[in-house]
Amino acid sequence: MTGLSQLFPLLTAAGILLAGNGIQGTLITLRAHAEGFQPALIGLIGTAYFAGFALSCFATPHMIRHVGHIRVFAALAAIASAATLSLVLIVDPYMWIVMRFATGFCFSGLFTVMESWLAASSKNTDRARILSVYRLIDMGANAGAQFLLPAFGVLGFELFAIIAMFFAVSLVPISLADRSNPKPPEAFSFDLRKVWIISPLACAGCLTLGMTNSAFRLIGPLYADAMGMDAAGVALFMSAGIVGGAALQFPLGYLSDMLDRRWMIIMATLGAMLAGLLLSTAEPGNQILIYAGSFLFGAFALPLYSLSIAHGNDQAEPGQYLLVAAGLIFFFAMGATVGPLLASLVIDKFGAPAFFAYTSSVHGILIVVTFLRMAIRPEVVDKGKSSFAFLLNTSPVFVRMATRKNGKKSEKPSKTST
């Protein structure tokens, strides 16, 4: 596996940055409600974030090409810090819409910088594990930062200032300690069609995860509330999903580096679909079952993002990592824009349990798409063997059979050609 020591400054910066971003989303919703903003305006504030998120996919790669990864990271983190402070200086819904648009633009760009950097610094044989470490840092920082809410409350200036400090301090590790940033591409054109051609499955996976994982974060609390949980129960329900995602993030990444990654995508998607069906049939008040279902849902659904982008980068040429990172973030943003809206409509019409019937339906479609892609492209790109051949070459039984020829052992086992 690629040495994580050379990526330590980037991963440290990511942890600091993502801690601030994780608490900011929760804080803005609660503070907007406390300030008496209309629900429609609160919804527009959230929509503005993802609109900026999508637009940045077109602009950020060009900035990286001209000035490099570190300078773009520094510029976007500084803008995000200033936008955070402006929210508390000017408490107005329309100003917040503009600032959340700017913040979404910045964070989409920051994700593009970090994920293209990680992809360029890894190999097909360890990419999912490196991305899993990145996602573990993301989830750990996000979960830990939530405890700042009860410590400082939502009505003061302090928490906004702390978030701005997180964004500013994230500049320090990569500005002072890192010299391994990848070389920017000599030419760049944001071409979604090309991203789709490189990996239709990765595009479909990120679109699916935008529709389901973003809905879980935003609409999941409504499900828990409707199932009879108090505020502490809702927090525990959401935390169970994050803990579940952390539990299987690295194991699934490790296995996907060894086998055909698409089989791991199918396994994780199937697990998320079954967990969703379990939650859709749970009875209100059965808290143990609901917490267990949330844990299982997170365990299988949350790692799908790193599996999808690892698969997409497996198919890319070295000069295409930036294009793939920006394109997959765009597909995720498109799914995240419509997913929470569709989920809320489903709950309004069919009740809270139908929320997870919605996620299971979307995950079921991804399973079908994955099998179709495996039928169209049966071989594993850049690994030289299919998952079946890998099992043949690593199973002790088959190795012993392969090494015996006319009663004699050859020097090494034969390899299956794919």
Mean of pLDDT over the chain: 82
- Please state whether the predicted TM-score (pTM) of the whole model is above 0.95: no
Give the structural domain span for 1: 1-176
Residue 416 forms part of a structural domain = no
Q: Could you tell me if 110 and 194 lie in one domain? A: no
Cα–Cα–Cα angle for 243, 247, 249, rounded to 5 degrees? 110
Q: Could you tell me if 112 and 164 lie in one domain? A: yes
pLDDT of residue 151: 83
Q: Token pair 């339906």 is at which residue?
A: 361
Residue 239 forms part of a structural domain = yes
Confidence class of residue 399 from pLDDT cuts 50, 70 and 90? Answer: very low
Alpha-helical (H) ranges within 6-68 are: 8-34, 39-67
154: tokens are: 């939502």
Q: Could you tell me if 9 and 134 lie in one domain? A: yes
pLDDT of residue 415: 35
Dump pLDDT digits (tens) for 268-310. Answer: 999 999 999 999 999 888 889 999 999 999 999 999 988 998 8
Q: Residue 377: pLDDT above 90?
A: no
CA–CA distance, 83 with 65 (Å, rounded to integer): 25
- Comparing 189 with 209, the larger pLDDT belongs to 209
Q: Residue 398: pLDDT above 70?
A: no
Q: Could you tell me if 124 and 201 lie in one domain? A: no
Q: Could you tell me if 292 and 363 lie in one domain? A: yes
Q: Residue 393: pLDDT above 70?
A: no
CA–CA distance, 57 with 164 (Å, rounded to integer): 23
CA 158 to chain centroid, in Å, comes to 29
pLDDT of residue 62: 85
Q: Could you tell me if 170 and 259 lie in one domain? A: no
Beta strand spans in 376-418 (E): 404-405, 408-409
Dump pLDDT digits (tens) for 56-82. Answer: 988 888 888 888 888 999 999 999 999
Q: Could you tell me if 123 and 247 lie in one domain? A: no
The CATH number of the domain where 333 resides is what? 1.20.1250.20
Residue 403 forms part of a structural domain = no
Q: Could you tell me if 61 and 121 lie in one domain? A: yes
DSSP string, 222-280: HHHHHTT--HHHHHHHHHHHHHHHHHHHHHHHHHHHHS-HHHHHHHHHHHHHHHHHHHH
Q: Could you tell me if 128 and 227 lie in one domain? A: no
Looking at the 3D structure of the chain, how many domains does it have? 2
Residues in a beta bridge with 409? 404
